[in-house]
Amino acid sequence: MIEEPQLVESKKLLDRWGGHRFLMMIGISIAIALFLVSVALALYASSGTAQLDLTRPGYQSVRDQAPRSDTFSGFPATGTLDKAALEQYEKLYDERAKQAVGVESFGGNGMSDESLSVDAP
């Protein structure tokens, strides 16, 4: 049995790495997550989106000067759930649905400032 020492040696090697398999999986998962986050941050910075983001701490002083064109009040999270509340929700939903359906999806207007509701008043 010439292969027996090699088999014993390979089992020892497998057992040594097998005990650390879970830690290796966590380490590799963290490394992949860090890589993907760094790619996302690089795209965020290189695409110019970072200059438009008013939530950054450096833009706190000019945040109040930004025009707010959205007048959507939303639906209250608390209160009674009765027929009047459901009718109010349907009304708010229908208004937003009409705005979403009213935009021509494959036309040139789909990405205009007006259809995206980012135009200044």
- Is the confidence at residue 121, as pLDDT, over 60? no
| pLDDT class of 72 with cuts at 50, 70, 90 | low
Cβ distance 71 to 77 under 8 Å?
A: no
CB-based contact 75:92 (threshold 8 Å): yes
**104-113 tens-digit pLDDT:** 666 666 667 7
Answer yes or no: is pLDDT of 10 > 60: yes
Q: What is the pTM of this model?
A: 0.41
Amino acid, res. 115: S
pLDDT of residue 47: 83
User: Cα dist. 101→94, 115, 120 in Å?
Assistant: 10, 11, 22
Please check whether residue 69 is in contact with residue 63, taking contact to mean a CB–CB distance below 8 angstroms: no
Residue 121 in contact with residue 69, Cβ under 8 Å? yes
pLDDT at 119 over 90: no
Q: Supply angle C-alpha 60, 62, 64, rounded to 5.
A: 90
Lookup result for tokens 């110019």 = 48
